[in-house]
Amino acid sequence: MATEPPRPAGRPEGGRGCCAGGGRGESEEAEAAAQPVPGASPGPAAAGGGRRRALNGCVPLSHQVAGHMYGKDKGGILQHPDGTVLKQLQPPPRGPREQEFYNKVYDSDCCDRILLELREYLPKYFGVWSPPTAPNDTYLKLEDVTRKFNKPCIMDVKIGQKSYDPYASAEKIQQQVSKYPLMEEIGFLVLGMRVYHVSSDSYETQNQHYGRSLTKETVKDGISKFFHSGYCLRKDVVAASIQKVEKILEWFEGQTQLNFYASSLLFVYEGSCQATTVRLSDVTLAEKRRVPKGLLSGGDVLEYNNNIHVINSTENGKIEASVGKGLSKFYALHKKSCSKRHHSQLSLKVEDSEQDNVWKSSTCITQEHLNGNVLPQLEKVFYHMPAEPKESAKVEVRMIDFAHVFPSNTKDEGYIYGLKNLITVLQNILDN
């Protein structure tokens, strides 16, 4: 895997996340104590967001959703001007253990197939960094996983049946178990999330207390909140997330070298609707009882993006709808399936040169007549179409937080248990 440094940061509106799951793990939160940003000058806040300016142009990470944060806790994560993120090394033995893990996985001489594949699921690692004015302060220099997103939606989920490692004291074990007694049964814990709502152009955030409040009965609804845009459930993102978690599970099923404790998965997806305009006119609607679900007459399959949002009312028989540019497209193949009866007319045309190769002409959608309120009727049109996107949504799922990784000669059953349960929950969200 190439490990060249990211291009210089050119941050769009709203800033960027990072390995946004957090500095030190949530399991160390009891040891946190307030501490100012190293090298930060006292006095007024730095211009541009009101955040204090740290060393060499570094600033506290704006999109962090879990772990310790600068200005509030001891330690935390900074954003480097070159676009990488800086995770402060924890005190021994946790910090050196995490650094050793990254060094081993990203060793240029590494030829271990298991570790080489593991790189796919981690943030890229660029070594360590220390500020010139504080050479004893060491930071891990990591890829900003959220950097390519305009409105990153971020969720940190701790995975495994135990959030303490095999060398934890009885006191530490009791402390961790008391924080979330259901960890062993559920196998994962939501540490935090940040979700962009298109409808209000704002973010909704939840912290670890939200995750700890979730039970077996409520965890599905609790996690589904992360995939809701304010308009609808982003099933395309859920489906893409499942695929990525399944790849990580496949890696764990095939390795017996390492066991992970108090480690997390970081989920990131694009929350903004970089909209392509879709016009719906001149397509005859046949009654759905005449055509199987998801099919056009003649056997043509209609695929769709489940995130269509009507943004204007009808005007001269046309409806404006917004569809996420990076999401799966609508495909409808052939007008011959259209009924010749006198029904409302709709057509699908895309006014976007990037998608000219996909949208060629007016097509047909099979469904009931559009009568009365257009929005409920339009929702019905797409309700029965296939939910799985043809093209994966823009989604990242990466493993983070490795202060409690230990050599092993057996499968990591606790982590595998958590991944399988998480996949089950995500699948239930998708199916419902």
DSSP state letters, 36-92 = PPTTPPSSSPPTTTSPPP-GGG-EE-TT--SS--TTTSSS-EEE-TTS-EEEEPPST
Share of the chain above pLDDT 90, in %: 53
Question: What confidence score (pLDDT) does residue 376 get?
Answer: 52
CA distances 70 to 40, 217, 261, 282, Å, are 11, 35, 24, 57
Q: Find how far residue 183's CA is from the centre of its chain.
A: 22
Has residue 398 got a pLDDT over 90?
yes
Check the CA dihedral 266-15-51-57 and report its sign.
positive
Question: What confidence score (pLDDT) does residue 35 get?
Answer: 39
Question: What confidence score (pLDDT) does residue 75 get?
Answer: 67
Pairwise CA distance, residues 320 & 277, whole Å: 7
CA distances 329 to 95, 278, 306, 310, Å, are 45, 11, 10, 16
Q: Find how far residue 175's CA is from the centre of its chain.
A: 29
- DSSP secondary structure code for residue 234 in this structure: -
**Mean pLDDT in the chain?**
73
Residue 396 backbone phi and psi in degrees, to 5: -120, 140
Has residue 197 got a pLDDT over 80?
yes
Residue 186 vs residue 48, higher pLDDT: 186
- Amino acid sitting at position 284: T
Note the pLDDT tens digit of each residue in 72-87.
655 679 999 999 999 9
Mean pLDDT of 287-303: 41
Mean pLDDT of 228-257: 97
Number of neighbouring beta carbons within 10 Å of residue 410:
8
Note the pLDDT tens digit of each residue in 306-338.
443 433 333 434 433 444 443 333 333 333 343
Residue 235 vs residue 333, higher pLDDT: 235
Note the pLDDT tens digit of each residue in 381-396.
444 334 444 446 799 9
Pairwise CA distance, residues 385 & 348, whole Å: 16
Has residue 428 got a pLDDT over 60?
yes
**Which of the four pLDDT bands, split at 50, 70 and 90, describes residue 61?**
confident
By the 10 Å C-beta count (0-12 exposed, 13-18 middle, 19+ buried), 199 is classed as exposed
Pairwise CA distance, residues 43 & 53, whole Å: 11
Question: What confidence score (pLDDT) does residue 361 get?
Answer: 38
Count how many Cα atoms sit within 13 Å of the Cα of residue 232 in the half-sphere of its side chain: 21
Pairwise CA distance, residues 219 & 425, whole Å: 8
Cis peptide before 131 (omega within 30 of 0): no
pTM above 0.85, yes or no: no
Question: Of 191-205, 215-229, 339-353, which gets the smallest average pLDDT?
Answer: 339-353
Q: Which of 10-24, 27-41, 306-320 has the highest mean pLDDT?
A: 10-24
Question: What confidence score (pLDDT) does residue 70 get?
Answer: 59
Residue 326 vs residue 141, higher pLDDT: 141
Question: What confidence score (pLDDT) does residue 133 get?
Answer: 87
- Amino acid sitting at position 197: H
Has residue 422 got a pLDDT over 90?
yes
- 219-228, long-range: CB < 8 A, 24+ apart: 219/186, 219/425, 220/425, 220/428, 220/429, 222/190, 223/155, 223/190, 223/425, 223/426, 223/429, 224/429, 225/193, 225/195, 226/153, 226/155, 226/193, 226/195, 226/267, 227/429, 228/195, 228/197
Mean pLDDT of 43-56: 46
Share of the chain above pLDDT 70, in %: 58
**Which of the four pLDDT bands, split at 50, 70 and 90, describes residue 110?**
very high
Residues 6+ positions from 19 with CB-CB distance below 8 Å: 77, 85, 87, 123, 142, 143, 144, 145, 266, 398, 400
